[in-house]
Amino acid sequence: MTLSTPPTARRVAILGGNRIPFARSNGVYAKVSNHDMLTATLQGLVDRFNLHGQRLGEVVGGAVMKHSRDFNLVRESVLSTSLAPETPAFDIQQACGTGLEAAMLVANKIALGHIECGIAGGVDTTSDAPMGLNEKLRKILLQVSRAKTAGQRLAALSQVRPQMLLQPALPRNGEPRTGLSMGEHCELMAKEWAIPREAQDELAWHSHQNLARAYQDGFFNDLMTPFQGVSQDTNLRGDLSLDKLRSLKPCFDKKVRPEQGTLTPGNSTPLTDGASAVLLASEEWAAARGLPVLAYLSFSEVAAVDFFNQKEGLLMAPAYAVPRMLARAQLRLQDFDFYEIHEAFAAQVLCTLKAWEDPVFCQTRLGLDQPLGAIDRSKLNVHGSSLAAGHPFAATGGRIVATLAKMLAQKGAGRGLISICAAGGQGVVAILER
């Protein structure tokens, strides 16, 4: 028997995207679930591209904050839309990299001809957060369910104490291995890389300015579906001043850099609720439906750093992922028209840029003869990023892919770099081209 020949890789087209406006935690979306938000986002995409009743190759997405009932979140959301119920779906989770990783997974299947089209997405809520039973109470209740006699059941139940009902297990925005929150880790990075407060506030200010301008220009009109009466990200402050940012007190300094912190609620992303989705397809599928291609997803890379033993900064993995991807793509860091660096914290972006300019870091950590060098800052996050829009963890990747694809389509030709840092010391990066 001769083995069949695998297909050669095809170009993967990004046809469009959709998201609901992102909303600050415990705000307008406080009472809606991940399922509600993802369904509204998918339905908006289906409506825009007239995919009603169609069977897509696959829908891939995920959420970082999940209830146990949401084990099949994406499939359940698909079933709630007007897509053909025969559309398969699965959930993934790679922290803040979830959305971009989902796009990469769908793209790879399209590239290999396994599917013709698919949707990648992500959703997160920190308002409708999963709250666990008190851990002691949970163990007692499990013991009760294992009990075989009434006596055993009573004995187990007798261990229940009233305070167990009032002390639920809450989700934590922290790294399990260090006990530090992501902001505390980033404060340590800002210290190591000597990132000044003022530079962080300036980056945050630009993010708000850029996003506000994009809304004024109607840039998001075909990238967004209003939801719950909201048509614009609620974190956006178009009238935000640098003076206001300067007046905010550092909020992650206490444990790691007492009284000397630089990260504030203004130059860090707030907890956010929201969802996003991107439509990807083969060129043939798009052409058959007369759908224009915005851009192509051409390269991707994921890196992870040892932030625990080697003490590399928790959010420095994109600094490793990008040069590896550039080497494969045979590109220089300067060969891009747009840079979309997810602003988890202004300091994360500035640490990454500084690391790429640093000869010692590039030589000793990246093994490069020359530093990657500086980028043209006027090409960075041109239509704003997470500091202004907010950051519903798994939804950020979809927001960035759709935004960058449209920017490249508007420009006509060009190349854009996406860089997203994620919990666990991971970095997810990609290149879009047109």
Size of the site for other proteins (CB under 8 A): 17
Stretch that binds other proteins, among 214-222, 247-255, 375-383, 415-423 (CB under 8 A): 247-255
Rule CB under 8 A: choose which of 69, 161, 246, 332 binds other proteins: 246
Report yes or no: 90 and 13 within 8 Å, Cβ to Cβ: no
Rounded to whole angstroms, the Cα distance separating 224 from 230 reads: 11
Amino acid at 302: V
- Rounded CA separation 370/368 (Å): 5
- The residue among 84 and 242 lying less far from other proteins, judged by its C-beta, is 242
Position 387 contacts other proteins (CB under 8 A): no
What H or E segment, with its residue span, contains residue 215? helix 197-216
- Of 86, 139, 155, 198, which lies in the binding site for other proteins, with binding defined by CB under 8 A? 198
- Taking the least distance from each CB to other proteins, the nearer of 139 and 255 is 255
Residues 178-197: x where in contact with other proteins by CB under 8 A, - otherwise, as a string = ------------------xx
Shortest approach of other proteins to residue 428 CB, angstroms?
32
Output 20 or 188, the one with its CB closest to other proteins.
188
Judged by phi (left if over 0) then psi (alpha if -120 to 50, else beta), residue 330 lies in left
Half-sphere exposure of 317 (CA within 13 A, CB side): 24
255 binds other proteins (CB under 8 A): no
Among 3, 145, 166, 243, binds other proteins (CB under 8 A): 243
Measured from the CB of residue 196, what is the shortest distance to other proteins in angstroms? 6
Provide DSSP, 228-284: TTB-S-TT--TT--HHHHHTSPPSSHHHHSTT-----SSSBPPBEEEEEEEEEEEHH
Report if residue 253 touches other proteins, rule: CB under 8 A: yes
Q: Which is nearer to other proteins, 248 or 368 (CB)?
A: 248
Enzyme catalytic residues:
96, 391, 421
User: What are the Cα distances from residue 186, in Å, to 68, 118, 264, 268?
Assistant: 30, 35, 11, 10
Spatial neighbors of 214 by CB under 8 A, at least 6 apart, are: 220, 383, 384
Which residue has tokens 């081209």? Answer: 433
Residue 250 interacts with other proteins (CB under 8 A): yes or no = yes
Q: Which residue from 68, 170, 259, 412 is in contact with other proteins, where contact means CB under 8 A?
A: 259
242 touches other proteins by CB under 8 A: yes
Nearest distance, CB of residue 364 and other proteins, angstroms: 24
Q: With CB under 8 A as the contact rule, which of the stretches 170-178, 255-263, 323-331, 374-382 interacts with other proteins?
A: 255-263
C-alpha–C-alpha distance, residues 338 and 17, integer Å: 18
Residues that bind other proteins (CB under 8 A): 196-198, 201, 242-243, 245-250, 253, 259-261, 264
